[in-house]
């Protein structure tokens, strides 16, 4: 499992950035350490580290699934990650159109609001 954790941490850092991961690691407590290890090994070390999909494709799929399932709280984080994965604004527009057709306009609409706000924050931060 150490290899899966190390691979997961490497992938997690490459997608989310060192600053985000460092903040998450600094906030980790004894209570959530098992969960943090689980997502590092499982999500990042197993799924995100697989070779078939590119990181761009995984970003697109992840954002579609978050929106489609109504799990909006992680959308902004994954939009910020597109700066590292290569998923473009056009990719996310197409993704949300698919979400609207297959999972509902209200979910896509809410996700689009979050995506737009996140892009605005990112553009403001870079000046």
List Cβ neighbours of 118 (8 Å cut-off, separation of 6 or more): 75, 76, 79, 80
For the chain, percent of residues with pLDDT exceeding 90: 97
Digit-coded pLDDT (tens) for 29-46: 999 999 999 999 999 999
Break the chain into its structural domains and give their ranges.
1-52, 53-127
Name the average pLDDT for the chain. 96
**What local confidence, expressed as pLDDT, does residue 1 receive?**
64
Digit-coded pLDDT (tens) for 88-111: 999 999 999 999 999 999 999 999
CATH topology of domain 53-127: AhpD-like (1.20.1290)
Encoded tokens for 96: 């949300």
- In this prediction, residues 14-43 reach a mean pLDDT of 96
Going from the C-alpha of 78 to that of each of 10, 30, 67, the distances in angstroms are 16, 26, 11
Asked whether residue 122 carries a pLDDT value surpassing 70, the answer given is yes
Q: Name the nearest CA neighbour of 95 among 72, 83, 112, 77.
A: 112
Q: What band does 2 get if pLDDT is binned at 50, 70 and 90?
A: confident
**What does the DSSP 8-state code read for residue 87?**
-
Q: Name the nearest CA neighbour of 88 among 119, 112, 111.
A: 119
């Amino acid at each position: 499992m150490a290899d899966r954790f190390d691979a997961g941490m490497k992938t997690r850092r490459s997608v989310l950035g060192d600053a985000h991961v460092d903040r998450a690691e600094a906030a980790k407590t004894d209570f959530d350490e098992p969960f943090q290890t689980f997502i590092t090994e499982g999500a990042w070390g197993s799924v995100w580290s697989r070779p078939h999909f590119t990181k761009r494709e995984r970003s697109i799929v992840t954002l579609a699934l978050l929106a489609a399932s109504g799990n909006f709280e992680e959308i902004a984080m994954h939009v910020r990650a597109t700066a590292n994965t290569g998923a473009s604004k056009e990719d996310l527009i197409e993704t949300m159109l698919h979400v609207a057709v297959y999972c509902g306009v209200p979910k896509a609409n809410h996700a689009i609001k979050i995506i737009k706000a996140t892009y605005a924050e990112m553009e403001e931060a870079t000046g």
